[in-house]
Structure 1
């Protein structure tokens, strides 16, 4: 059964797949147009079998899918259109660009049949007409013996350019030479090639210089040589007089008491002694000898034909001043020892040094000793510049990562691990690796045969070293200890505080604050006087510290409160149109408040001691207080009872509407840091502009209005992180490294 189902599924897939393939290849009608019309259209390739027709074509059937339509029209460039054929009667259109035409004709008889090149490619002979693409083209027409015709042509689409060509004959490029001599039959050579004998006319010589030789038979006459310049189209003449050959010359061998002396004969240098001069004419010749440090000398010598003569030239040494010794070094203060005697520090100059060989030693602390000998003589100085190499210390550098580079004083020494020699002295060493923070240390290396090992632990770019983590943690703890709740500065973002206070006009107040980010703090508060009013608030504070001792901030506070409620009196009910005195539906009156404050704060911080803060605030209040203006019994003595809404004394008014007012407030606080968790503070503020709040009248039953002076005393508890007593103890000092490696420059502590 399973096999039958599988066979049926396979058969269905084959049938439907074949149907889909046939559908994809089924032709559909489309429209094909061209600009200009009349173009022949081919399907995918240009061949008679793929020809579709001549535009415009309507409802021609072509298979679905991606295809290329090729358009051809005489006098125009072929156009190709990539067509994705999927919709019936879709229109495909091509624009054919017209060819430009160059028509080259003969302007004279010489131009007929001349070869033509267009853009360097041979295309035919004059006359000639061809299609070219629009643009700039170079036309060249030429034939042998004529000057090539060159012309640039700038053609636009469809333009026909007629170009008549005239060829001019080339000027001749050869000349001729008439060669004669006082001896007939002498062989004539041109540039070493025989060209007949004298007299003769040489035709077809190329323009330019040529070497002409006339060689007579026998040894009695000399060969005649002359260089001539042939001018195209002209004839030159040479009329040579052959001279008798000179007699056979003699030779002279010159030796000297100074090896390498420069020998000259008749003012012409022959070479260094011993030297030989050959082919000298018989007769007297002047021989001269010169050498550095010697006086020049000369003498006259008689030379005979066919014979060699040997002479000796004696040179006398010049009288010169004694030489001197000049010693310098690449290290300032290096000590010079000359022939075992200390001569001071470089530079050292010894005048009139004795002739001979001298031993020189140059020394400097921390550098290898330099030894050298030099020769001094009359007129010969000795100059020494000692290059002292530092004495190295064996060093091995290892790291916790591969692929790093070891750098000394800015010079890359090689990959880590690295082992080699570093000069003695103080150096700045670095280890760098991609993705890691560079390690930097100032080290002092001393001469030693023991290898100094530097084991470097590189830290990732986003990581901190243990020392940096310790410094950051200590800085965080210090910030927590210095944190205060009532200042222009915001709390650290990992710290929360709880304020608890007693004061006037609210008996108790509780506030919770927490740092959000470095410059933003948020908090909530609750304050109550139990019988009169209980208020809630939310606040947001932004602040910064331009210096550690000063902070500036701004704070927004918003909130409201609730107080006692009462039922309306009979008179109040009768005053209302919809109140039935006989029914128990007297109106209810409630106590509630709403407030909004903007505060600006300025603080002076005493760091670990505390701070002093002043503020200025603009307050808006909206209070509902449905009691008599001076009712104290309701709030303090006997509770709230009916009838207290009615005036009990002359001048009293019943309060039956909300009080909305704005006030300007100034205040200050002094806060002390007692321990790392506890602060103690005092605050005092007063209203400098604005009306009294009725809700604060007669708070304790003494018949007084809002006095507009408020004060509080409280404590602050800081929490929000785990800390131990030993966290605030400084870490023990680390032992000094035997490698005398100074620590790397520390990273700056995080800003408070």
Structure 2
């Protein structure tokens, strides 16, 4: 979580939000993954790539410069795919992994819909077979059939890893690199791994991380099932929002990004939140965060009043202060378990 001032920061953060929310954000082609809105933490200073995808919407990619101790922001509006088309992928043998534009879509035979018209990179792969790859032109309101006959490798150079979890939708990391999320009623098929020993991590917010080590042999399959257990509530989550949105947020005098923001795995302790926006009265709130708590900081920012020449009784000023209290200007830390 946010640290107190006085710390020396060697890494930064990247905050990612999208409209609509709930999109997959991938950092540097698979180094890390989250679902919007969220924050990549501990990012090395320098330039990084963020890819945001959501089924039925056009993907968004951008680069963001990260400085130590600072948070870079990626705010994406995803335009819906208009007049989408699809691809129907079948293979011999069946059950091969299908990737469209580097995103895992499931196993053959598989219909992938909601694709924008134009070229899409299709990859079909199965351990023990040569990976098939081609660019397919998708046409609006059509489903393009793609039939693939996989050729067996003479000397299989890779093994096959199948990862499933309960609940599904968990992020799978191999030796620290994000490789996809566990699908419903299926397993994530990763079949480009050379023989060797790998550390598998399965993560989902609100659950304890599942980790195991596997040894993979060429041409062989290894199945990993991750039963995730709910996380013990040692950390808290904090959401910070403002009306209007887009205000600068400082936590313990450290700049964290612009509203709305959400933080997970926040350590217990006392925090001061300052929210500032040009032309509005600054908001400041201090509060105690306890383990397992979900804290919402809501700031209803009020425009800076230009004093009007008047000598009337100060009832209006009192009413304004009361309105501030009612709308959460003075201090609103709504805590709910």
The answer to whether TM tops 0.5 is no
Structure with bigger RCO (C-alpha 8 Å, 6+ apart): 2
Compute the TM-score of the two structures, normalised by the length of structure 2: 0.30
Select the structure of larger CA radius of gyration: 1
More helix, by proportion: 1
Compute the TM-score of the two structures, normalised by the length of structure 1: 0.15
